[in-house]
Amino acid sequence: MEQKWWKESVIYQIYPRSFKDSNGDGIGDIKGIIEKLDYLNMLGINVIWLSPVYKSPNDDNGYDISDYQDIMDEFGTMEDFDILLQEAHQRGIKIIMDLVVNHTSDEHKWFTQSKSSVDNEYRDYYIWKKGIDGQPPNNWGSCFGGSAWEYDSTTDMYYLHLFSKKQPDLNWENKVLRNKVYDMMKWWLDKGIDGFRMDVINMISKDQRYPDGYVNEKAVYGDITPFVFNGPKVHEFLKEMNREVLSKYDIMTVGETPAVSPSDAVNYVGNDRNELNMVFQFEHVDIGNGLEGKWSNLGYKVSELKDILSKWQLGLQDDGWNSLFLDNHDQPRAVSRYGNDKEYWCESAKMLATMLHMMRGTPYIYQGEELGMTNVAFDHIEDYKDIETLNAYKELVGIRGKDPEEMMKAIHDRSRDNARTPVQWDDSEYAGFTTGTPWIKVNPNYASINAKVQIHDKDSIFNYYRKLIKLRKEHKVIVYGDYQLLYEDHESLFAYTRTLDNETLLVICSFDTNQITFELPENILYNTNSLLISNYPVEDMNIVKVELRPYEARVYLLQ
């Protein structure tokens, strides 16, 4: 297995709007990030993934970009960005940027030109089609609700938007457009950034026949999955991007790729593929989705989580590399979703961190995860800001007649805004995030869950993450060891080994709220053993038979 810096890294995702506000306007900004670099250094991470900071009208909080080579006014200036990059590098922290090139904002110059006339030189940068009998070209539904097509009267045609109508999809079939994107990427890389996280990069190649999608009984629009994910030319485009841009720099790339299997993933990240280094897959965070997608929220079983994560561990064991995450800016908080954020908040947050960070791949920490930040439950839909949540409420409650209370429950469980409440820095008003009024309400539990108390508490979740990160730096087996699942059929125990040369790591994680007994399988031979980390005090070093307390996690190094 080839050794690489990005395999040995721990990555911290910053969603700038909610991270730290430096000037009291209630919106996080670049100067706020600079203020917290020492905090991140203390945590021990060595790469930051910065969610979009580019110029944007903020229909989707920066994932709708109107100028790729400028900074959003609310976040600061390009000078601020340059200082951030320099300050981060001085601390040995790399920065990867979000690359959002499946679509732009409808306020991007390319689009305002494109829509102005059918023979404008930018026309073909986007996907325009004629309607059929006054209806959109096909039945595709957008990921954010409604039709994926928007009518534009200027030229009497429709444009495709797989996300909001303010996020028109770029036409990757157009070589001129592709070159523009590559030039923009080089411009950032020449500035010294260390790579890209590529937004929905497996959606850039559309099935050129644009066929209707299947409509399930709970849906109004057709399912786009078979026609836009992992499309016919996606690998051709990525190989071209790699040849023209990526291969010229010592950087890392991670593609956001919904709807991929491990074998699809190998096609993106396999060693000889010359495309990407890693992808984000979503099978483990989509557990419980039903006919209404995540709003169905059918719950989850530990066995499903084990099956999926193990399948990915093994699927990329020989070729490729995993990204490891439970949280990001689109997901509910892991401790609330997979742990127990009430009775066993601290224990379960640490257990989940152990389960994830001891796996093979590159771990990602989403801001506040290291503090065990939890989901929020606003009473009123008006307190939610996320376009996906608001559109889904309108469509499901307003049009499909879903019970509003049931919908609010689903929102409390799954809304993206769970991840977007301000980072809880201390117990002062607005959690020390801002001196003004935050753009989205602070989670009321900030008085007890915040960075200030946790930094000084040696048993805090924060300090537990520090230790996990440190262990990964010290033990190659944590980075490169082979994975093997133990007790496949156990309903609440997630245990596995990692093996490299003559070292074996034994990872034991209980998802149970009751005590359970764990017996070490006889085929694991050991002579000496050492406990590397645990989330409870452990006296009994005999690991043949272990009584595991609620949400207990232990990691042993067997030699």
Residues with catalytic roles = 199, 256
| Residue 259, phi then psi, degrees to nearest 5 | 60, 45
Cβ-based nearer residue to ligand TEU, 163 or 464: 163
Which residues lie across from 47 on neighbouring strands?
Answer: 11, 94
DSSP letters spanning 278-340: EEE--TTTSTT-BTTBTTT-----HHHHHHHHHHHHHHTTSSS--EE-S--TTS--HHHHTS-
Cβ-based nearer residue to Ca ion, 29 or 341: 29
Residue 294 binding target from ligand TEU, Ca ion, none, CB below 5 to 8 Å by type: ligand TEU
Whether 306 contacts 253, CB under 8 Å: no
Residue 402 binding target from Ca ion, ligand TEU, none, CB below 5 to 8 Å by type: none
Residue 59 binding target from ligand TEU, Ca ion, none, CB below 5 to 8 Å by type: none
Q: Side-chain half-sphere of 14: how many Cα atoms within 13 Å? A: 30
CB of 200 to ligand TEU, least distance (A): 5
CB of 163 to ligand TEU, least distance (A): 4
CB of 385 to ligand TEU, least distance (A): 12
Residue 27 binding target from ligand TEU, Ca ion, none, CB below 5 to 8 Å by type: Ca ion
Whether 411 contacts 388, CB under 8 Å: no
CB of 328 to ligand TEU, least distance (A): 7
Q: How far apart are CA 233 and CA 356, in angstroms?
A: 33
Which position has the token pair 């023209």?
244
User: Which DSSP helix (H) or strand (E) runs through 195?
Assistant: strand 195-198
Which position has the token pair 């002062």?
428
Instruction: Provide the 10 A C-beta neighbour count for residue 318.
Output: 11
CB of 418 to ligand TEU, least distance (A): 11
- Where does this chain bind Ca ion (CB under 5 A)? 21, 23, 25, 27, 29
Q: How far apart are CA 557 and CA 340, in angstroms?
A: 27
Q: How far apart are CA 159 and CA 166, in angstroms?
A: 11
Three-state DSSP class for residue 67: strand
Three-state DSSP class for residue 196: strand
Cβ-based nearer residue to Ca ion, 27 or 95: 27
Cβ-based nearer residue to ligand TEU, 20 or 329: 329
CB of 75 to Ca ion, least distance (A): 8
Give the tokens for residue 338.
């997979």
Cβ-based nearer residue to ligand TEU, 82 or 107: 107
CB of 218 to ligand TEU, least distance (A): 16
Cβ-based nearer residue to ligand TEU, 256 or 552: 256
- Where does this chain bind ligand TEU (CB under 6 A)? 60, 63, 100, 143, 163, 199-200, 256, 258, 294, 329-330, 388, 416
Q: Report which residue's Cβ sits closest to Ca ion.
A: 29
Residue 174 binding target from Ca ion, ligand TEU, none, CB below 5 to 8 Å by type: none
Whether 194 contacts 219, CB under 8 Å: no
Residue 33 binding target from Ca ion, ligand TEU, none, CB below 5 to 8 Å by type: none
CB of 209 to ligand TEU, least distance (A): 23
Cβ-based nearer residue to Ca ion, 340 or 435: 435
Three-state DSSP class for residue 147: strand
Nearest 10 degrees: CA dihedral of 151, 157, 162, 168?
Answer: -90
Cβ-based nearer residue to Ca ion, 77 or 274: 77
Q: How far apart are CA 192 and CA 207, in angstroms?
A: 36
Residue 494 binding target from Ca ion, ligand TEU, none, CB below 5 to 8 Å by type: none
Instruction: Provide the 10 A C-beta neighbour count for residue 56.
Output: 27
Give the tokens for residue 129.
């089609």
Residue 63 binding target from Ca ion, ligand TEU, none, CB below 5 to 8 Å by type: ligand TEU
Say which residues have a Cβ less than 8 Å from residue 326's Cβ, sequence separation at least 6: 284, 285, 334, 337, 338, 352, 356, 369
Instruction: Provide the 10 A C-beta neighbour count for residue 393.
Output: 21
